Structure 1
Amino acid sequence: LAKMLTLIEETVTVEDPALDFTLPGYDIELKVPLWKGILVTITGVSSYVQFVLKAILGSGSTLQAKPFREGFSKVFPNGDRQAFAVEELMKLFGNGDEDCTVETISTTLEADHGFNPESRAIWNLLEIMAEYDASTR
C-alpha cells in the first residue's frame, strides 16, 4: 500500500482533474469572473478549497435557504408562526414517531444537479438521515 501511495504521489498532480475556479457540478464562479476558465494549480489549490468550502457551507447555503424561507413564508407567514411555541410547531410539522427509513425518505427526495436517486452520495445522505434519533430529526 505504501508503494502504491508513493507512486500516486509521484504521478498525480493537482492539475490532473483540470479544475477551474467554478463550483464542481455547477456553473457558479468561485471568484471574480476573470478567474473563470483559469485552471487550479498547486499554487492556487488552497484558495480553490477555501472558495469551494465557502460556496458550499457559507454563501452557497444562504442561496439555498433564501428560496426555501420565501416559499415556506407564503404557506405559513412568519407573523403567524410567532404565535406558536416551538413544541406546538413540532406537533404541527411532525414528530419523532414518523417513519424515517431510507425507503420512506427516498420517496420524498428529488435528486438534481448531476445526482440521481441511485447516486452513492444520495444513498449516503439517506442512510445518515435514517439513523437520526427523534430529537435530531
Structure 2
Amino acid sequence: MLDLKAHRIGLNLTQQEMAQAMGMPLRSYQDIEAGKNPVRPVHEAAANYAAYVIRIKDRTKSDDPLRLFLIRFKSHDGRWGNPWTVWAEDFPDAVERFYNLARVDKTSEIQIKGALSGLIPDHSIDHAEAVLEHRDWPWPD
C-alpha cells in the first residue's frame, strides 16, 4: 500500500498542493494521510498521476494529438502479460508514461507497439490526457 505522506514529502509538496494535484478536497486528503480513511486504489492512482504531472509540468508539449500505444511487460515468472494502452506523443513518451503511471518495476522487460488502425473504436483524442488502461486483448503479432 502506498504511503501517501512519504510520497508527498518525496515530491516536496504541502498537503494542500498534494490534495489539489490529486483532485480531491484538502480535508479528505488529510483524513487519508492521518489514517482516518484507508488508502484506496483510486487514491494510489491519483497520487501517481499527480507525481507524473508534477515531473513533466515544465516540459514542452506538442500541439499534435496523442497516439495510442500498446505496451506489455514480462512478469517475474517470465510470462508476458496482457497489454496496456497508453496515449502518448511518441515511443519514448509512451515508455515514460507507462513506467510512471503503471508502477511497473523499471527493470521489467517491456514490448511496445503503435496501435493498429481499427484496434479501438474511432474517437477524437485531441484532448486526451495520459490515459493508461489494462486491456484483455491478445498481443497483435
Q: Give TM class, smaller chain.
A: under 0.3
- Structure with max Cα Rg: 1
More strand, by proportion? 2
TM-score by length of 2: 0.27
- TM-score where L is the length of structure 1: 0.28
Larger fraction in helix = 1
